[in-house]
Amino acid sequence: MKRIVTIERQKRSKNRYTLHFDDGEWLGLFDELIIRHGLKEGIEVDSEKLAQLAREDDAKKALEMALRYLGYRSRSQKEMITYLEGKGFDGDVIDETIDKLKGYGYIDDSAFARDWVAGRMASKPMGKAMIKRELIYKGVEDEVIEEHLGRITQDQEEDRAYALALKYVKRYRNLEPREQMHKIGAALARRGFDWETIKGAVRRLNIGEIDE
């Protein structure tokens, strides 16, 4: 058994306190847990109770950190797991946190993929292949990715390729038409556009013909 000698508010966190025990050890806890468990100076707690308190504190800390992480933008499940692992949380705490976030609707890979595709469509010209690679990297399942990428029409894909091709025209304007066309086509391919889309976009530039 350990006896609580003092309970002091932490200087850097107004809602966290440090419990000091008679054997020189200490434990940091959220104020909510101290109130819930009726912790006061002078009472004794056993090792099992201390383990429970530490586990509950980790769970609350993980959830608060996860919510702050979501404050910047939405996250895929894999991104959140990787983030929490990097913060040193145990697997069971991470699993519990992910379950809570899913229950709140804060983690939803389908909604994440939908928003990611919409964002790329609106602000960053790139082909479906590159968007797919990004979503795979973020841990989204293929079925979910294909569902949302399938909503991009060929006309939309070609329009985005054409918009990007117009920028490359300026970069390669001093080249011969054939070489200019080759450079632009290669650049579009690197941005994830397929060959049919590239042909359509380059033809609209009127700088040459692409061989079938």
Q: What is the pTM of this model?
A: 0.82
Structural domain count, the chain: 4
Does the residue 209 lie in any domain?
Answer: no
171 and 135 fall within a common domain: no
Q: Letter for the amino acid at 66?
A: A
CB atoms < 10 A from the CB of 74, how many?
17
Token reading at 123:
């602000």
Query: Greatest CA span in the chain, whole angstroms?
Result: 86
List C-alpha distances in Å: 46 to 2, 3, 51, 52, 54: 6, 9, 9, 10, 12
Token reading at 85:
């692992």
Does the residue 157 lie in any domain?
Answer: no
Q: Letter for the amino acid at 155?
A: D
98 and 127 fall within a common domain: no
39 and 13 fall within a common domain: yes
User: What pLDDT is attached to residue 125?
Assistant: 82
CA dist 84 and 95 (Å) reads: 10
Q: What is the pLDDT along the chain (212 residues), one digit of tens a residue?
A: 999 999 999 988 889 999 999 999 999 999 999 999 999 999 999 999 999 999 999 999 999 999 999 998 999 999 999 999 999 999 999 999 999 999 999 999 999 999 999 999 888 889 999 999 999 999 999 999 999 999 999 999 999 999 999 989 888 888 888 898 999 999 999 999 999 999 999 999 876 544 44
CA dist 97 and 183 (Å) reads: 48
Give tens-digit pLDDT for 80-139. Answer: 999 999 999 999 999 999 999 999 999 999 999 999 999 998 888 899 999 999 999 999
CA dist 118 and 82 (Å) reads: 24
Which domain CATH number covers 60? Answer: 1.10.10.10
Please give the angle made by the CA atoms of 14, 16 and 21, to the nearest 5 degrees.
135
Strand runs labelled E in the chain: 2-9, 16-21, 26-30, 44-45
Which domain CATH number covers 117? Answer: 1.10.10
For residue 5, the SS3 value is: strand
CA dist 122 and 116 (Å) reads: 10
User: What pLDDT is attached to residue 38?
Assistant: 94
Cα atoms in the Cβ-side hemisphere of radius 13 Å centred on 87: 19
Domain that holds residue 27: 1-45
